[in-house]
């Protein structure tokens, strides 16, 4: 099952690497249409946009909604390199995303299984399918390298 998502995760990783070159935390996301074609992709943009909501997932969902002319992303898949936080998980539910695929777990802020499971909370009106651990090692390593470089004394 995970191999099905590897090409899309490779693109999300490319978005994350591009974010690093812009001084952003390396998280990337792509939105796939029901046929599996990428309709949008983004990396984190918080620093560039001076916007606390400009996480890769939110930016990619905004782009997808604009491209489709529709805020409902029903039957679409969000592929992201890091487990979404509570803000992004809420946006995923609001956008009616059909499936979330993520790479690395976020033990400190994850809201799709690690700390909370916002997207599958039975009290909410929408619950996407979740696939985790796709290209997990590569996704985790990108983040570890980014933060390790910043913590190393110069």
Establish whether 129 is a catalytic residue: no
DSSP states along the chain: -GGGGHHHHHHHHHHHHHHHHTT----EEEEE-TTS-EEEEEE--HHHHT-TT--HHHHHHHHHHHHHT-S--TT-EEEEEE---HHHHHHHHHHT-SEEEEEE--TTT-TBTTS-BGGG-TTSS---EEE--TTHHHHHHHHHHHHHHHHS--
* Of 15, 57, 83, 135, catalytic: 57
- Numbered residues of the known binding site for Zn(2+): 55, 85, 88
- Numbered residues of the known binding site: 55, 85, 88
Which residues are the active-site residues? 57
């Amino acid at each position: 099952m995970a191999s099905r998502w590897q090409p899309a995760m490779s693109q999300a990783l490319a978005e994350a690497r591009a974010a690093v070159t812009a001084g952003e935390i390396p998280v990337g996301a792509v939105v796939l249409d029901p046929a599996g074609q990428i309709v949008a992709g983004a990396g984190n943009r918080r620093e560039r946009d001076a916007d606390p909501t400009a996480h890769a997932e939110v930016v990619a969902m905004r782009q997808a909604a604009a491209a489709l002319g529709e805020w409902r992303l029903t039957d679409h898949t969000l592929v992201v390199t890091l487990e979404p936080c509570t803000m992004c998980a809420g946006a995923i539910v609001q956008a009616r995303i059909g499936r979330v695929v993520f790479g690395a777990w976020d033990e400190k802020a994850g809201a799709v299984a690690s700390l909370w499971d916002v997207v599958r909370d039975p009290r909410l009106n929408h619950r996407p399918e979740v696939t985790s651990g796709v290209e997990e090692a590569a996704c985790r390593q990108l983040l570890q390298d980014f933060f390790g470089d910043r913590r190393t004394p110069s």
